[in-house]
């Protein structure tokens, strides 16, 4: 089955700087790549997703890039703010598959 | 719009006791899922239901049973709780294949 790995496991950034989290996946048939943000005591919440027919997608300060050849995708957060501190999960799935494979998560800490 | 509602929020069980975790969604989603989250392990799929009337095993189904009661409700049962089942349990729903998951806020279960 699909195997998704996230790097680094913990990331500390100064407020206002950018944060980048990278995920790699193993199944070349995967074509849907969502990112989730989990705040303390809450369930994960979708923040952005990308499908394999595009290479980049942006939503305000958040962007996701996809490199299908190298089988990796990255989350970019610009102008980080304290409220961006959370655990971020990447995931991947294939067409016709109801099951998302999740990475183990990245703890992002924004230092004021 | 409540989204995905899980009950209870917290539970303490003794080894060997049984309990049912309840989940309901009001988004008319076809698919529902149960995950467990443990430190350093990310989100692991226990069971899922692609549509009303169907259920399938995920990565870690041993020790659990599920019931898709109707389109809205998907319950998870522990017949004989074990300390290894101490975890945070999340229910999620989605429209179906390659669609975003919507998570509840979790049930924190401790088995002593």
CA distances from A4 to A25, A103, B5, B68 (A): 5, 5, 28, 28
Contact criterion met (CB below 8 Å) for A110 and A13: yes
CA distances from B48 to A57, A58, B98 (A): 29, 31, 14
Give the pLDDT confidence of B62-102 residue by residue, as tens digits: 999 999 989 999 999 999 999 999 999 999 999 987 889 99
Residue B110 has what pLDDT?
A: 97
Residue B99 has what pLDDT?
A: 86
Chain A with chain B: Cβ pairs closer than 8 A: 56
Name residue, tokens 């299908």: A68
- Other CB atoms within a 10 A radius of the CB of residue A93 amount to 25
By CB atoms closer than 10 A (0-12, 13-18, 19+), residue A11 is middle
Give the pLDDT confidence of A47-102 residue by residue, as tens digits: 999 998 888 999 999 999 999 999 999 999 999 999 999 999 999 998 777 788 99
Give the DSSP letter of residue A83. G
- Chain A hits for B97, CB-CB cut-off 8 Å, are 93, 95-98
User: Residue B82 is encoded by which pair of tokens?
Assistant: 């074990």
pLDDT of residue B19 exceeding 70, the answer is: yes
Give me the percent of chain A exceeding a pLDDT of 90.
Answer: 81
User: Residue A38 is encoded by which pair of tokens?
Assistant: 């989990």
Please tell me the distance from the alpha carbon of residue A13 to that of residue B32, in angstroms, as a whole number. Answer: 36
CA B18 to chain A, closest CA, distance in angstroms equals 24
- Is the minimum CB–CB distance between A44 and chain B shorter than 8 Å? yes
Over range B53-58, report the average pLDDT.
94
User: Strands B42-49 and B19-25: what pairing?
Assistant: unpaired
Q: Helix, strand or coil for residue A87?
A: strand
Name residue, tokens 């430190």: B39
* Residue B20 or B41, more confident: B20
Residue B1 has what pLDDT?
A: 64
- Chain B hits for A94, CB-CB cut-off 8 Å, are 98
Name residue, tokens 């522990």: B78
- Degrees, nearest 5: CA angle A6-A95-B89: 55
Looking at every residue in chain A, the average pLDDT score rounds to: 93
- Is the minimum CB–CB distance between A99 and chain B shorter than 8 Å? yes
Please tell me the distance from the alpha carbon of residue A41 to that of residue A46, in angstroms, as a whole number. Answer: 16
Over range B31-59, report the average pLDDT.
93
Nearest to A4 by CA among A69, A89, A85: A89
Q: Helix, strand or coil for residue B18?
A: coil
Contact A99 B58 (CB under 8 A): yes
């Amino acid at each position: 089955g699909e195997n998704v790995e996230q790097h680094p496991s913990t990331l500390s950034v100064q407020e206002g700087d950018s944060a980048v989290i990278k995920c790699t996946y193993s199944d070349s048939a995967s074509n849907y790549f969502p990112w989730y943000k989990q705040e303390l005591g809450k369930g994960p919440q979708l923040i952005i997703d990308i499908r394999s027919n595009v290479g980049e997608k942006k939503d305000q300060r958040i962007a996701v890039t996809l490199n299908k050849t190298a089988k990796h995708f990255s989350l970019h957060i610009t102008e980080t703010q304290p409220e961006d501190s959370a655990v971020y999960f990447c995931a991947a799935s294939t067409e016709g598959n109801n099951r998302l494979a999740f990475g183990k998560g990245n703890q992002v800490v924004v230092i004021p | 719009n409540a989204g995905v509602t899980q009950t209870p929020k917290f539970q303490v069980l003794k080894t060997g006791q049984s309990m049912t975790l309840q989940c309901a969604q009001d988004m008319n989603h076809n698919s529902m899922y149960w995950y467990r989250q443990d430190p350093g392990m990310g989100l692991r799929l226990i069971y899922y239901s692609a549509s009303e009337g169907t259920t399938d095993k995920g990565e870690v189904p041993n020790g659990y049973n599920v019931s898709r009661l109707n389109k809205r409700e998907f319950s998870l049962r522990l017949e004989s709780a074990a300390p290894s089942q101490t975890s945070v349990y999340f229910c999620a729903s989605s429209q179906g294949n390659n669609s975003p998951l919507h998570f509840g806020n979790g049930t924190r279960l401790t088995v002593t």
